[in-house]
Structure formats: structure tokens, C-alpha cells
Amino acid sequence: MKKKLIWLVMPLIALACNNETKDSTEKADSINTANRDSAMSENKTVVDEGSSSFLVKAANGGMTEVQLAQLAQQKATLIQQRLFAVR
């Protein structure tokens, strides 16, 4: 019985290990690269690499701040902490 269970679980583990998800920075970079390439081929305005990178980092920082505030609202023990997280 244990051997059958192992043979059933092993493929699921292998599939879970092969799940290569990109973080938000990698996704944005790949999308920006694709947009830059298509804009260049269509003679449209192209945003330089430095500006694009800055905007991606700024957006990630903003999302991190929002997520941390939500976590603080849930986990804070003092009412002052919860009120500060709401701001």
C-alpha cells in the first residue's frame, strides 16, 4: 500500500518542483523588453532601460508597502499600531 501511495505522490511532487514562476520584477522586465522590441519595429516612442527599471522597482516598493500595511493591520496587538497601518 505504501509503495502505491509513493508512486501516486511522486509525479505530483515532480510537477510542483517544475513550477517556475517568475517574480513580479522578472515578469515586468520581460514584458518591457517585448514592448520595447515591438515599439522599435513600429517606430514608436521607446522608454530607455533605466527609466523602465526605475518604474518597475518603484511599483514593487509600493506594492510591498501596501502588503506590509495589511499584515500590520491583521497582526498588530496595539490599537495605535493598527491605526498607523491604516494610514
The pLDDT of residue 7 is above 60: no
Total number of domains constituting the chain: 1
Q: Is residue 12 part of a domain?
A: no
Is 4 domain-assigned? no
Which tens digit of pLDDT belongs to each residue from 39-51?
Answer: 667 766 667 788 8
pLDDT of residue 1: 54
Residue 57 lies in a domain: yes
- Ranking 14-18, 25-29, 61-65, 75-79 by mean pLDDT, the lowest is 14-18
Residue 40 domain flag: yes
Q: Is residue 70 part of a domain?
A: yes
Q: What is the pTM of this model?
A: 0.42
CB–CB of 81/53 below 8 Å?
no
Cell of 69: 500595511
* Range of the structural domain that residue 66 is part of: 23-86
Residue with cell 499600531: 81
User: Domain for residue 8, yes or no?
Assistant: no
Q: What integer best gives the mean pLDDT of the chain?
A: 75
29's grid cell: 522586465
Percent of all residues in the chain with a pLDDT value above 90, rounded to a whole number:
2
> Could you give the CA distance from residue 77 to residue 74 in angstroms, rounded to a whole number?
9
